[in-house]
Amino acid sequence: MVSLFTMDNTNTVVTDVENALDDMTFNSIPEAVAQPPLHLEKSFKNMKAVTKTGRTKFSSLKASRVSSAKRAYVTRNMDLSVAKYLKAGDVAPKAGDIILAKIVSLGQHKRIEQTDGRRAYLHVGDEIILSYGARYAADQFEGYVPDDLGECYMVAAGGIAATYASKNARVKNPTRIMPIGILCDKDREIVNIKRGALSNVKVPKASVKPHVIAVVGSGMNAGKTTVAASIIYSLSKENLRVAALKITGTGAGGDMWQYQDAGAVVAYDFTDAGYPTSFKTSHEELKAIMNLLCNAARAKKPDVIVIEVADGLLQEETNYIIGSDWFKEQIDCLVYAARDGLSASAGVDLLLAEDLPLITISGMLTSSPLCAREAALATDIPILDAESYANTAQLAHDLLQVT
């Protein structure tokens, strides 16, 4: 058994764990699981040209201030030249609202992933542009959209501002930020990343339907992105046009660029549908995200679409998706990424109970021949490992059921 996760061809395989661990510290003493929010002793100055509507304040925002701020990945689809005001005071933010904030203290995230993918180092006092959103990350933080513009936290390097509900004991406390205001346009309407969403594309019914492969996993860092990228790479080597989608998760560029580097002709994620994260989105919104991204991908006329669903099978949104009729109707086959034999066995039982078209198991368990052997014996499902990916013609046959 050859491990997908120990291949020498680094162009093909980059693990989910590598991406996630970039911001993690394992050799430090675990800090408190919860940290009460603190408030700045001094108020922020230079809030000029202020007007008030009740307890809401609007201050003029210069273009130079926007351009000099460190701008997060999740805002990349936005034209922020429209931002003319900052809205502060008695405001209840919503997911996707874009804010200007100041770094109060550094914690887990000492860098911010910018729109071009570069991770810029942060310093206390830096002004950053990011989005409100909820986060669900078993290996890092749990956070929610705050009720007001008070001090909160940057809970993801891609630029998510949220409360801090819990954390993994292996990571530091989150970086604290003080929102200065929500960006507004000339009409004083809030700038939300939904403005930058893709337009809905109508695909002709007569068009050829691409083969759709879904990748799900037992949990965070089970190897889903590595599996998806390796499938993309292998099918691309067989001269197939492959599109890549990530329909849930927390906004970050690493997965998208990994798909593109593997040969995807186009790669979209939920941020392209106007959502900074998918945690706490409604069932209707989840369906709309998948439909929008699938139609946008089909417009590029791919032969295959590879769809990654983030987190694990028991996570709230993922669990709903895999049980929904609309998801089952969209996909042709499903690949399951697991960390070990037990999670493989339990996950297979869940997926088969949902009558999903599971065809193979892969993921982190392939790094251990023993784990892979356990999974194969317990489930009687084929294991997709590095040796399988190396034979691209056979893989294409197996995944696409070519006769």
Q: At what angle do helices 224-237 and 254-262 cross, to 10 degrees?
A: 20
pLDDT at 55 over 60: yes
* Domains of the chain with CATH codes: 4-14+198-400 (3.40.50.300), 50-193 (no CATH)
> Distance between CA 197 and CA 176 in Å, rounded?
28
Residues of 245-283 as b/e, b for ≥16 C-beta within 10 angstroms? bbbbbbbbbbbbebbbebbbbbbbbbbbbbbbbbbebee
> Distance between CA 379 and CA 126 in Å, rounded?
52
The structure tokens 């001090």 sit at 151
Q: At what angle do helices 283-298 and 316-323 cross, to 10 degrees?
A: 70
pTM of the model: 0.85
pLDDT at 96 over 90: yes
Q: DSSP states of 85-120 as a string?
A: EEEEES----TTBEEEEEEEE--S--EEEBTTS-EE
Would you place residue 154 in the very low, low, confident or very high pLDDT band (cuts 50, 70, 90)? very high
> Distance between CA 119 and CA 107 in Å, rounded?
15
Q: Which tens digit of pLDDT belongs to each residue from 288-332?
A: 999 999 999 999 999 999 999 999 999 999 999 999 999 999 999
Number of H helices, E strands in the chain: 11, 20
- Joined together, the tokens standing for residue 203 give 């695909």
Output helix, strand, coil percentages for the chain, rounded to the nearest 5.
30, 25, 45
The C-alpha torsion from 10 through 15 and 17 to 19, rounded to 10°, is: 70
Q: What are phi and psi of 43, to 5 degrees?
A: -80, 155
Count the neighbouring beta carbons within 10 Å of the beta carbon of residue 293. 25
- Joined together, the tokens standing for residue 103 give 């770094």
Q: Which tens digit of pLDDT belongs to each residue from 177-213?
A: 999 999 999 999 999 999 999 998 887 775 778 999 9
Question: Mean pLDDT for the chain?
Answer: 87
> Distance between CA 84 and CA 69 in Å, rounded?
15
